[in-house]
């Protein structure tokens, strides 16, 4: 899929053996907030420079891959080209990413919602599909619950800096109708990609206000 090469004999249905080698699966040590790996001598997990200024409203964060090369192609296929077929490969990656399954086990997975208009246009919410992949990767030892709703249709945020995004996003999310929080439960916000962390932060604020005490985030990619 990424290189249009023949997919044969590897572990994936949509990535060939060569692309499989180019996949950057995140290893420790990595940033404890966004999951971005540290390269070089760093011995233990700590915050990356970006996350030092994020004021994260969630505890920890973890990601499976870096959003480059074939990894980027998988996410783009899913997000922009109705490529739900890549989900089976994504589950394989989630199962094999170091520490990823342990991190998911026992959590309630809360997908970052799309605005209903956008979801209707795309016909699915990729974060919901990825949350389902997470649940599959741990053989059902985590459950997906759509506890959040997107109440403001924020336009594409990519052209704004972080401060402006945060302002726009502040009131974009709310608890879904009838959704409740059990303070004894661990919640994991699920998004496709960790970029600035602003979206995850706004969602985390809503869940915190609703009473979530143990709240972490998980993404498939970091980009
Ligand atoms: Zn290939
Ligand atoms: Zn970070």
Least confident segment among 65-74, 131-140, 150-159 = 150-159
- Interval between CA 168 and ligand 1 midpoint (Å): 39
Closest ligand (CA of 54): 2
- Interval between CA 57 and ligand 2 midpoint (Å): 13
Residue closest to 131 by CA, chosen among 73, 191, 185? 191
Q: State mean pLDDT over 150-164.
A: 75
Collapse the DSSP code of 189 into the 3-class scheme (helix H, G, I; strand E, B; otherwise coil) and give the result.
Answer: strand
Check if the beta carbon of residue 58 is closer than 8 Å to that of residue 95: no
17 by Cβ neighbours in 10 Å (0-12 / 13-18 / 19+) ranks as middle
- Interval between CA 22 and ligand 1 midpoint (Å): 9
pLDDT digits (tens, 9 = 90+) for 95-144: 999 999 999 999 999 999 999 999 999 999 999 999 999 999 999 999 99
Place of tokens 């599959």: 136
Give the angle 218-102-40 at the CA atoms, nearest 5°: 70
Residues with CB under 5 A from ligand 1 (ion): 3, 5, 16, 18-19
- Interval between CA 74 and ligand 1 midpoint (Å): 12
């Amino acid at each position: 899929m990424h290189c249009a090469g023949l997919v044969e004999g590897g572990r994936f249905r949509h990535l060939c053996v060569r692309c499989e080698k180019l996949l950057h699966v995140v290893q420790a040590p990595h940033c404890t907030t966004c999951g971005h790996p540290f390269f070089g001598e760093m011995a233990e997990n700590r915050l990356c420079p970006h996350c030092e200024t994020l004021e994260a409203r969630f505890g920890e964060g973890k990601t499976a891959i870096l959003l480059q090369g074939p990894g980027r192609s998988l996410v783009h296929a899913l997000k922009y080209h109705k490529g739900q077929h890549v989900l089976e490969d994504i589950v394989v990656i989630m199962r094999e990413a170091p520490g990823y399954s342990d991190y998911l086990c026992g959590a309630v997975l809360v997908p970052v919602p799309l605005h209903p208009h956008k979801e209707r246009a795309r016909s699915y919410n990729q974060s919901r599909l990825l949350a389902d992949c997470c649940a599959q990767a741990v053989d059902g030892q985590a459950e997906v619950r759509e506890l959040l709703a997107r109440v403001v249709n924020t336009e594409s945020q990519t052209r704004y800096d972080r401060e402006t995004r945060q302002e726009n996003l502040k009131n974009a999310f709310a608890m879904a109708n009838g959704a409740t929080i059990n303070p004894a439960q661990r919640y994991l916000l699920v998004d496709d990609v960790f970029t600035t962390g602003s979206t995850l932060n706004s969602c985390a604020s809503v869940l915190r206000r609703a009473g979530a005490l143990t709240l972490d985030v998980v993404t498939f990619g970091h980009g």
